[in-house]
C-alpha cells in the first residue's frame, strides 16, 4: 500500500489533451480523432504508408514528402473503418475531390508524374520516434516571436497538449520523464528537431522561412518533443496528462 501511495505522490497533472491526430500516409494530411489506440509502434494507423521516389530508393531518405511536393498537405487519407485502421482499406481524397485507393497507380502519378511507388510498413515509417507532442504554449510562443498566427497542423503532432503553468515551452522539461495519458504511458525521449516542413502553410502551401529561422536561432532547431510507448492503451481528447517523477 505504501508503494502505491508513493507512486501517487510522484505523479503530477501537467495538462490535458486538446488535439489528437494520426497521419496514415507520410506527409499527407492528418486525421483529427476524438480517441485513438496507441500500440508499441505509435497510434494505430499512423504513418503506415509512404511513397518512395524513383531513383533514390537506396538513399537514406527515399520518401516523397512535403519538401518535394507541398500539395501532399491537401491530400486527405481516411480508413473505411476508423476503429480498425490496421485491417481497413485506406482511401485518399485529392485537392480536386478525386478519390483513390492508396494502391491505385493513378494516385502516384497525380502526386509525382516522374514516378513513385507506395509501400506499407506495419511498424510505421517514422523519421525518429513514433509519437510527437507539442503544447499550445509552444505554438503561441513561437507565433509571437515570428509575428504571425501559426496553424497547429504545420507541426504535424500526434498530441496537442494544453499545459499547466506559464512556461513558454513547457514540454522541454518533460524529456526523460514518463507521461500517463488515458490508459497509455509514454516516455518523452528527446526534443523534436525541425525541418523545412514547418515553413509550409497546410492550407495555401505557401512557405514562410522565418518560422524555421526562428526555431533554429531561438530553439536550437527544436520544437515539441518525441516519445515512445511504455504501455499501450487508449488516449482521448480531454484526457489529463500526468507526469511521473523520480521518488
Q: Can you tell me the distance from the alpha carbon of 121 to that of 143, in angstroms, rounded to the nearest whole number?
A: 35
pLDDT at 1 over 60: no
Question: Whole-model pTM?
Answer: 0.92
Give the Å distances, CA to CA, from 182 to 99, 119, 213, 224: 34, 32, 36, 20
* Domains assigned to the chain: 10-244 (2.40.33.20)
Q: Give percent of the chain above pLDDT 90.
A: 83
What's the mean pLDDT in 158-163?
A: 98
**DSSP letters for 1-60:** -HHHHHHHHTEEEEEEEEEEEE-SBTTSPPEE-SEEEEETTEETTTT-EEEEETT-TTSS
Across the chain, mean pLDDT equals 93
Amino acid at each position: 500500500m505504501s508503494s502505491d501511495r508513493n507512486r501517487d505522490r510522484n505523479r503530477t497533472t501537467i495538462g490535458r489533451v486538446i488535439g489528437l491526430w494520426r497521419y496514415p500516409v507520410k506527409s499527407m494530411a492528418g486525421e483529427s480523432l476524438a480517441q485513438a489506440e496507441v500500440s508499441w509502434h505509435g497510434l494505430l494507423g499512423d504513418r503506415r504508408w509512404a511513397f518512395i521516389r524513383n531513383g533514390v530508393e537506396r538513399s537514406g531518405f527515399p520518401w516523397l514528402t512535403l519538401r518535394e511536393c507541398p500539395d501532399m498537405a491537401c491530400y486527405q487519407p481516411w480508413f473505411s473503418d476508423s476503429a480498425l485502421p490496421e485491417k481497413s482499406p485506406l482511401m485518399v481524397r485529392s485537392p480536386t475531390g478525386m478519390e483513390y485507393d492508396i494502391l491505385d497507380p493513378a494516385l502516384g502519378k497525380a502526386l509525382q508524374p516522374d514516378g513513385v511507388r507506395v509501400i506499407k510498413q506495419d511498424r510505421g515509417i517514422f523519421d525518429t520516434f513514433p509519437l510527437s507532442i507539442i503544447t499550445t504554449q509552444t505554438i503561441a510562443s513561437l507565433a509571437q516571436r515570428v509575428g504571425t498566427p501559426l496553424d497547429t497542423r504545420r507541426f504535424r503532432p500526434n498530441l496537442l497538449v494544453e499545459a499547466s503553468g506559464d512556461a513558454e515551452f513547457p514540454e522541454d522539461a518533460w524529456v526523460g520523464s514518463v507521461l500517463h495519458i488515458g490508459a497509455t504511458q509514454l516516455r518523452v525521449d528527446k526534443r523534436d528537431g525541425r525541418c523545412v516542413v514547418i515553413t509550409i502553410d497546410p492550407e495555401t502551401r505557401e512557405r514562410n522561412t522565418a518560422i524555421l529561422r526562428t526555431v533554429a536561432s531561438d530553439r536550437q532547431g527544436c520544437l515539441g518533443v518525441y516519445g515512445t510507448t511504455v504501455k499501450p492503451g487508449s488516449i482521448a481528447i480531454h484526457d489529463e496528462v500526468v507526469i511521473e517523477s523520480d521518488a
